[in-house]
Amino acid sequence: MNTALITGANKSIGLETARQLLQQGYRVYLGSRSLENGQQAVECLKAEGLNQVEAIQIDVSNSDSVNAARAALGEKIESLDALINNAGISGGRPQSALEASIEQYRMVFETNLFGVVRVTQAFIDLLRKAPEPRIVNVSSSQGSLTLAADPHNQYYHHKGAVYQPSKSALNMYTIALAYELRDTPIKVNAVDPGFVATDFNNHRGTGTVQEAGARIARYALIGADGPTGQFFSEEYNPETGAVPW
């Protein structure tokens, strides 16, 4: 049975991605920084008849927590088929390029970039043991430098001077990671789930978690002929998902 680890999966987009991978027959390790919240999410999924799911405590901003999660998962499985780096924070508002504190930048980068680096490096050995491993970095079209600089972009005036650089950096990390893994079967892509109604944006998003989960799961499920080192946003481009970096 294929296995997946999803960070920040106790609610919202991460939980829905877990649901959709379970529906595809995966065994899902549902990452949650609060084990209690993770276990509650597991109970919800089990109540829907999705039983191949287990909560795992993982705070991506904490190396000890990530290493403990790696040790715990290593006791249960010998290989990991999919890693979904979903956990992320917005950093709150306002986010002024002139006034945001370095502390605010550190906090957001700690989760949105360093968290992904930490988790990827900790679990890469388990991924390497799977036949067709996939890494999905949950990014945002808000991290697109091209779109952010385009006055015609519908979100041009929605500037988040802390969050947006964290996702741009995540995109570049995705490129670097895919390049280093180019001679392996591992495929790694950055995926924008779209502007989705969740706690993240006080439910101001216009899309649903179901759409977002499907967009992410698609790149966890791509075949050997699928892309790697690419950035996709179906919200931006419903036909191909292609979105400028």
- The answer to whether the beta carbons of residues 235 and 208 sit under 8 Å apart is no
Residue 129 vs 242, nearer CB to ligand NAP: 242
Residue 138 lies near ligand NAP (rule: CB under 6 A) = yes
Buried b (16+ CB within 10 A) or exposed e, 101-114: eeebbebbbbbbbb
Closest CB 85 distance from ligand NAP, rounded Å = 8
How many angstroms separate the CA atoms of 123 and 76, rounded? 13
| Among 111, 120, 164, 174, interactor with ligand NAP by CB under 6 A | 111
**Per rule CB under 6 A, is residue 198 in the interface with ligand NAP?**
yes
171 binds ligand NAP (CB under 6 A): no
User: What's the burial of 204, exposed, middle or buried (CB within 10 Å: 0-12/13-18/19+)?
Assistant: exposed
- Residue 118 is a binding residue for ligand NAP (CB under 6 A): no
Measured from the CB of residue 203, what is the shortest distance to ligand NAP in angstroms?
9
**Among residues 95, 189, 192, 234, which is the contact residue for ligand NAP, using CB under 6 A?**
192
d(CA 48, CA 62): 32
- 129 or 203: CB nearest ligand NAP: 203
Please report how the helices 114-128 and 63-74 are oriented relative to each other, as an axis angle in degrees rounded to 10: 20
- Identify which range of 18-26, 47-55, 149-157, 199-207 contacts ligand NAP by CB under 6 A: 199-207
What's the order of all strands across the beta sheet hosting 187-192? 53-57, 27-32, 3-6, 82-85, 134-138, 187-192, 231-233
According to CB under 6 A, which residues from 59 to 78 bind ligand NAP? 59-61
Q: Does 205 bind ligand NAP (CB under 6 A)?
A: yes
| DSSP state string for 118-160 | HHHHHHHHHHHTSSS-EEEEE--GGG-HHHHT-TTSTTTT---
Query: What is the total count of residues that contact ligand NAP (CB under 6 A)?
Result: 31
Calpha distance 41→101 (Å, rounded): 34
Q: Please report where in the chains the tokens 């977002």 appear, as a residue.
A: 212
* Residue type at 143 in one-letter notation: G
Point out the residues that are catalytic.
Answer: 163
Please, are residues 205 and 197 in contact by the beta-carbon 8 Å criterion?
yes
Give me the least distance between CB of 189 and ligand NAP, in Å please. 14
Q: Does 233 bind ligand NAP (CB under 6 A)?
A: no
Residue 19 engages ligand NAP in binding (rule: CB under 6 A): no
Kindly indicate which of the ranges 67-75, 100-108, 126-134, 196-204 contains the residues binding ligand NAP, using the contact rule CB under 6 A: 196-204
**Which residues contact ligand NAP by CB under 6 A?**
7-8, 10-14, 33-34, 37, 58-61, 86-89, 111, 115, 138, 140, 192-193, 195-196, 198-201, 205
